[in-house]
Structure 1
Amino acid sequence: MRAEPPAWAPGPAQAAALLEEAVDLLVLHRDFAAAVERCEAGCDSLGPGPGHQSFAEVKCSLCVVGIQALAEMNRWREVLSWVLQYYHVPEHLPPKVLELCILLYSKVREPQVMLEVGGSWLGSQANQSLPEFGSLLELYLAQVLLPLGRFGAAEELVRGCPALDSERRLRLLGTIGDSRASWARRDEETRPGAEEQQDPAAETLLGVLSQKLLTMLTLLRRTLRSMSNHFYLLPYKKMLLATFLLYLVVVRLDPASPTSLPFIYKLVQLFRQAWAAVLSPVHRPPIGD
């Protein structure tokens, strides 16, 4: 009597056919969207749940092809959510799928996407017995935790992992220490660089202010020198008023500013009126015979 095939046979058989189509579309035809559709149809045909070993292998292969097709279309942001819709929780991800996701998000410089997912997978006791656990732990440290500067979390993960032997634990702790020291050196090298970038700007600003002040003082000195031969004729209060107006025009206002021009003109007119008043014939000394 012919034995009946297992109940899981039709699902994997259909999924395997879809997997073959997806591979052809990905590699030969470069039709990435169609390849993703075949992968989705294959995963849907397998249904939820862990199922038989052949179920897991076909499903993992479908997800690997789908991840590559999504990456080829520059839709890498959808990869993690796309995978989790078939595995539901990070702890159930196959090692190959987790490895591919870590490498993908590290390559696009978004390692923080895999921070919680990788930590949940590595924290599962069921996954710690897998032969790929050690290599995935090192990959997670090198591509996720250390580039993000999570040195404390990395040390805690290594020290609290019972699946690591003492030699491998010491080696990983040494790698974490070296990365921490390298990170500190980069900070020290970057900090003086920022200060050096600020110094030329400050020097330029001080140079401009010094040149401007020197120009103003030179103009004031020339003006006072040209008026020095008339100062003995001025009463004290009127000379003080003229000097104050000159100070406002030359020192307190910026002649290069367009908004100051109307006000400067008014001050110049007031200065001329005051100057005409103090030099009027009434205050001029009598001319001797």
Structure 2
Amino acid sequence: MSCCSAGQPPARSPPLSAALAPITSMLDTAAEQMMVNKDFQAAFDTCDRGLKSLDGMEPEDNRCEEFRAGFCILGIQALAELNQWQDVLSWVLQQYEHQENIPARIMQMCVLLYSKVGEPAVMQEAARVWLLWPLNSGVSGFRTVAELYLLHILVPLGHGEEARELIAGEVGSAAFTEDQRQTALDVVEEKERRDQEAPCNPNVSPSSEITAHPQGGVIHKLAAMLRFLYRKVMMCHSGSFPLRRLFLAALLIYMLFFRLDPALPSSFMWISKLYQLLRQMWTTMFAPYYQALAQSKEL
């Protein structure tokens, strides 16, 4: 395990500023090679050397672990750019030895990376062990790791029973509020319902809407709804369209696009809930229109 060892006599260690100066320089060099020069192999090699240089250094104010995390973050990005993503988890474990010791932000990166390349199962065991480790429940990124584990691993893999156990167990209690837990259960049930339905396009996975771009279907629905709302507003003077529904739709659209960030994994639960509300309102508002249209076609 590459770690900052403790217990060495302070007299044998160089002054902290002198010891950390080359480490800081290597981290800056790796960042420049990554972001400016786009030399990903050189960036990874620099990160690897920096991590080895941390061996034998005595930590002070957690600076040693901060540098270790910085090198790992850049190294993960470099491996991904080099299309060597399959080596990421094993390389990270070389630095932290045990899965539960991986920092939350690095665990998040690994889950997202393996989900992006279509191999979420690789991170299933590591993320599960990390979440069940008692000391990790108090770290700042615990909730995000739990959300990513649920939405990018368990739900896409169809592990509904394990997802329910996670939500109802100690992890769910520590990570989510009661409303969030209920919404998470709704997401799991919706995924199972879609898996039971035969997909219209056999080349499209029934979970693609959840794992790829969950807000895409919502946007199309909202666009269609806005067109109908425009036509209905033109008839408001006749009293045939209740204005309170228009205000409700406007409020939901505002919350969805201006108060939530769809790019955040934590927003998907609320997007799914809003989508269900919009779908119910759509049916209530426009079902008579479609029934009349169907009857006219039969004539």
Sort the TM-score into its range (normalised by shorter chain): 0.5 to 0.7
Unpaired stretches in structure 1, ≥5 consecutive residues: 195-289
SS at the partner of 1:109?
coil
Unpaired stretches in structure 2, ≥5 consecutive residues: 1-10, 204-299
Q: Counterpart amino acid of 1:24? A: E
Give 1:81-96 correspondences, 5 Å limit.
81-96=90-105
- Contact map agreement 2:167 2:185 (CA 8 A) in 1: no
Give yes or no for the alignment of 1:55 onto 2:81: no
Distance 1:65 1:82 in 2: 12
Distance 2:121 2:176 in 1: 29
Distance 1:46 1:159 in 2: 41
Distance 1:93 1:81 in 2: 12
Give yes or no for the alignment of 1:109 onto 2:101: no
Deviations 1:128-181 (A, max 9, x none): 011211122112111111111112112212222167369614423432333333
Cα 1:157–1:110, aligned 2, differ >3 Å: closer, same or farther? Answer: same
Selected match of 1:71 from 74, 80, 89: 80
Cα 1:31–1:5, aligned 2, differ >3 Å: closer, same or farther? Answer: same
Selected match of 1:34 from 37, 42, 61: 42
Instruction: Give the match for residue 136 of structure 1.
Output: 145
Instruction: Give the match for residue 21 of structure 2.
Output: 13
Instruction: Give the match for residue 54 of structure 2.
Output: 46
Cα 1:178–1:158, aligned 2, differ >3 Å: closer, same or farther? Answer: closer
Give identity over the alignment, percent. Answer: 33
Deviations 1:60-79 (A, max 9, x none): 01000001111111111111
SS at the partner of 2:37?
coil
Give yes or no for the alignment of 1:188 onto 2:197: yes
Higher relative CO (CA 8 A, sep ≥ 6), structure 1 or 2?
Answer: 2
Runs of 4+ in 1 over 6 A off after TM superposition: 3-7, 191-194
The structure with the larger Rg is 1
Question: TM-score under structure 1 normalisation?
Answer: 0.59
Deviations 1:175-195 (A, max 9, x none): 23333333333332249979x
- Contact map agreement 1:158 1:169 (CA 8 A) in 2: no
Give 1:226-245 correspondences, 5 Å limit.
none
Q: Counterpart amino acid of 2:40? A: F
Q: Counterpart amino acid of 1:134? A: R
Alpha carbon RMSD of aligned pairs, Å? 3.0
- Contact map agreement 1:12 1:46 (CA 8 A) in 2: no
SS at the partner of 2:92?
helix
Question: TM-score under structure 2 normalisation?
Answer: 0.57
- Contact map agreement 1:91 1:124 (CA 8 A) in 2: yes
Selected match of 2:177 from 152, 168, 182: 168
- Contact map agreement 1:22 1:38 (CA 8 A) in 2: yes
Distance 1:106 1:192 in 2: 22
Cα 1:119–1:169, aligned 2, differ >3 Å: closer, same or farther? Answer: farther
